[in-house]
Structure 1
């Protein structure tokens, strides 16, 4: 099995807390307190070997900005679609999935996984081709949230959306033509929210596969938002509407 590195204090701590399989941890020999101390304690409880190495050794791993900490882990294991439905069922909630149609920037992917974790999304669905996958950069940008949000990689987004609709989900996409204000979106139902590519938006076929389209009103001269920002606004709108539905009538 191939090996990857998780770098950075928070990603390593979250991997330890989530019981991610870790082969060994390297900590800079100058790091003694704070997060490094917490990592040593967590690793000790789990019987994981911690090696003290020079900062130069960590730099040579090519693991990105490591903050004096890196953990060797098996290559990321993508989830299956059933895992997402099981998570929603376990939480006794209507399924809420985030579908990314060709998001290429790993920082955007990581940011959206982080927001997905915070806003109650049960899982993220990405395509296998022409899109960012879960890399060390994604893990770090997600601040460890990728340990808690299952990510499914599929061959064909259009086919996947059809399959989700067959299982009772409604599909909401982002767009401008024939799109309603996102604040009017009905979200208290089984839902797949689709965010498009950073530059092109949703592909034509994916847009046609959506049950309805929503847009975020723009009041300034700039006519578009970063994909992860738009995704964050829409995910929290779904969360808000679901929480409102769950509130008792005064």
Structure 2
């Protein structure tokens, strides 16, 4: 493809990108998939995006994920927010901020899964480092099944110093680490940032020191660690559960 713009691949990912109003140059769909073309055409027409029918070989050739499901959109890059903009948007919500901080997550599948969970949890924003970490790629967006379109993401130079800034804004910083206390025994209500470390490295010494406290997920089997995306989901839903109970107590 001559144009090196970002590719969004897969039926749900393209549909959610259209719903979210992501600027697109063109959408390629596999010839003969009439039912799906009709759904795409309706949204594409509203967004003034041309839809082109092509054979499957062409889609296979341009696909980066190799899991395009017969549709690929040629879109603009998803914009990153700066740190202050993300915090301003998070603070404007009626509920208390819940920020995800991902320290050196390098696997695009993990990042995509976390973004999907963040959308489900109503997370206000995600912070990732600019270096030694995965950014938003076609694979990330494909794995997120379009949820990544609705999650604000900021990239920062230094995670440790960013945690200090979060604390200055009155946000508690909680790190997921096996040196911590059992996650469901801690108070996880209030404005909060949940920090999850990379697949092999964990949080790192300096990042751990910047956290207000650490929490762990008990391990009952033979392995001593958990997939980063799964760990985020487990602790994230406990945060939502505790918030719901607290709100119910106020009613």
SS in 2 for 1:247: helix
Q: What do you get for the CA RMSD once the two structures are aligned?
A: 1.5
Residue 174 of structure 2 aligns to a residue in which SS?
strand
SS of aligned partner of 1:60: helix
Q: Distance in 2 between matches of 1:17 and 1:173?
A: 34
Q: Aligned pair count?
A: 248
**Would the aligned equivalents of 1:26 and 1:69 in 2 still touch at CA under 8 Å?**
yes
Choose 71-80 or 213-222, whichever is displaced more.
71-80
CA–CA separation in structure 1 for the residues paired with 2:207 and 2:168: 16
Q: Which residue of 2 aligns with 1:54?
A: 55
Q: How much does 1:91 deviate?
A: 2.7
Structure 1 range deviating more: 45-54 or 78-87: 78-87
Give the 5 Å matches for 1:72-91: 72-91=74-93
Identify the residue that residue 93 of structure 1 maps to in structure 2.
Answer: 95
Output the CA distance in 2 between the equivalents of 1:210 and 1:249. 29
Partner of 2:210: 209
SS of 1:134's partner is coil
CA contact (8 A) 2:9 2:63 kept: no
1:10-159 to 2 correspondence within 5 Å?
10-33=12-35, 35-64=36-65, 65-159=67-161
Instruction: State the 1:195 CA deviation.
Output: 0.2
Alpha-carbon separation, structure 2, partners of 1:43 and 1:181 = 48
Superimposed CA distance per residue, residues 27-69 of structure 1 (whole angstroms, 9 cap, x where no aligned partner):
1112111x33211111112221001111111111133211110
Which residue number in structure 2 is paired with residue 246 of structure 1?
A: 247
**CA–CA separation in structure 1 for the residues paired with 2:205 and 2:102:** 14
Distance of 1:119 and 1:140 partners within structure 2: 19
SS class of match (1:176): strand
Q: Normalization by structure 2: what TM-score? A: 0.94
1:146 aligns to what SS in structure 2? helix
Name stretches of at least 5 consecutive residues in structure 2 with no aligned partner: none
Cα distance, 1:249 vs structure 2: 5.8
Partner of 1:180 in structure 2?
181
Alpha carbons 1:43, 1:50 under 8 Å: kept? yes
Please tell me whether the aligned partners of residues 22 and 76 of structure 2 are also in contact (alpha carbons under 8 angstroms).
Answer: no
